[in-house]
Amino acid sequence: MDIKKVYMGRSVEEVVRLLGEYENKAKVIAGGTDIVIALRNKVIEPELLIDISKVEELKGIKEDEEYITIGSITTFTEIVESEIFQSNLYGLHKACKMVGSPQIRNKGTIGGNIANGSPAADSVPPLMALDSIVTLLSIEGTREISLEDYYYDSIKENELLVNVKFKKPKDNQVLTFAKLGLRKALAISRLTLSSFIEFDDNIITSIRVASGALAKFPMREKEVEDYLLGKSLNEETIEGAIEALRNSMDERLKGRPTLPYKRIAISTILREILEEALVFEKGVKAW
């Protein structure tokens, strides 16, 4: 079926109304870096496209007392260029900078990265490590869901992903990220990891670790979190964390042809995120 109409959405209210009206006949397009490929390959065949790339309310990064909120059509480039992600939130900057190529980063959006649902979405593990909340809007109302739970109850046909938000980090908290791609640009992630760690006098007092491309969708790595909580980072605990992650991968990816490679390669990536956190903790800028 060919696309019959393209609406250029002007407001969230209008887009939500159109989605309510057309439901499964409509698809939302923002940067188009994923959906255009899906359309060409006829993976999806909507009658109607709703272009949200000009909806001002969905743009930009906002900060208040408690939260940092990223509008869904904020591009990877805008995140990379934002001052907010230069210090202890550097992990998100790094993840967005490793997406595709400059052209893709200029068009691709953070909301699209989440809504597309790829297990290899680069921006999702850091957002999940930040315990982000996704806001979805439909004619039925507003739905807020944690990014961790989102993949079990993802976007519905009548919903618009409005923003993703997370609590502002404290000075003793740091977000890190590492990616294994098979070349230096335009590489789909083979595996990604992100950690959000709170240190108190060398000791990890709070930790969230999220992975990409290690399951059907990005997910929290609770075994690693449990292992590292209450410990300090050193050679022994880093090795222990690698072992913990390998154990849970062995169980989860049993029989997968990619497992023998990924279970070895994971050590470089996990080491990278933990060592970056350690450098931060020691007060030296890793970047």
List interacting residues with other proteins (CB under 8 A). Answer: 101, 180, 182-188, 190, 258, 260-261, 264-265, 267-269
Q: Are 187 and 107 in contact (CB under 8 A)?
A: no
Q: How far apart are CA 75 and CA 92, in angstroms?
A: 12
Q: Which of residues 18 and 269 has its CB atom nearest to other proteins in the complex? A: 269
Structure token digits, residue 35: 């959906």
- Cβ closest to other proteins, residue 169 vs residue 181: 181
Q: Please state the closest distance from residue 90 (CB atom) to other proteins, in A.
A: 20
For the chain, how many helices (H) and strands (E)?
Answer: 11, 12
Nearer to other proteins, 165 or 246 (CB): 246
Helix, coil or strand: residue 165: strand
CA dist., res. 179 & res. 272, Å (int): 9
CA 18, 162, 107, 184 dihedral sign is negative
Token pair of 190, please? 């083979």
Smallest distance, Å, CB 19 to other proteins?
29
CB-nearer residue toward other proteins: 31 or 71 = 31
Task: Return the number of the residue (24 or 258) whose C-beta is nearest other proteins.
Answer: 258
Choose among 99, 154, 106, 149: nearest CA to 123.
99
Nearer to other proteins, 106 or 232 (CB): 106
Q: How far is the CB of 265 from other proteins (least distance, A)?
A: 4
Give the span between the Cα atoms of 194 and 178, in whole angstroms: 7
Q: What are phi and psi of 40, to 5 degrees?
A: -65, -40
What sign does the dihedral 8-41-4-116 (CA atoms) show? negative
Residue 156 vs 271, nearer CB to other proteins: 271
Q: Residue 261 Cβ, how far from other proteins at the closest point, in Å? A: 5
| Residue 93, CA atoms < 13 Å, CB-side half-sphere | 14
First to last CA, the chain: 49
By beta-carbon proximity to other proteins, the closer residue of 93 and 190 is 190
Least Cβ distance, residue 164 to other proteins (angstroms): 25
**How far apart, in whole angstroms, are the C-alpha atoms of residue 176 and residue 126?**
7
Q: Let me know: does 174 contact 94? Beta carbons within 8 Å.
A: no
Q: How far is the CB of 37 from other proteins (least distance, A)?
A: 9
Q: Cβ of residue 258: shortest distance to other proteins, in angstroms?
A: 8
**Least distance CB 186 / other proteins (angstroms):** 6
